[in-house]
Amino acid sequence: MSVEEKFDQAKASVKEGFGKLTGDKKTEVEGAVEKTAAKAKEVAKDAKDALEGAVDGVKKAFDKEK
């Protein structure tokens, strides 16, 4: 996870917590949505990295056969 992704998740958590603390449901929900989006972005990046690793593995396997 990059520093930017960690920062986005932390910022969203603070926003969500602030909304809970102040009773501001809109801010609380916005924070929760932003946190979920940041986590989804992280999962997508991890999946992309895993796919790229698999592709590299297949390429190396074919190169060895030549």
4-28 confidence digits (pLDDT tens): 888 999 999 999 999 999 999 999 9
Q: Which of 38, 32, 35 is nearest to 5 (CA)?
A: 38
Reported pTM: 0.69
Domain parsing of the chain, residue ranges: 3-65
Predicted local distance difference test score (pLDDT) of residue 66: 60
Model pLDDT for residues 22-63, shown as the tens digit of each residue: 999 999 999 999 999 999 988 888 899 899 889 888 888 787
Residue at token pair 């895993």: 50
Looking at the chain, list the stretches that DSSP marks H as alpha helix, in order from N- to C-terminal side.
3-22, 25-65
Cα distance between residue 24 and residue 28, in whole Å: 6
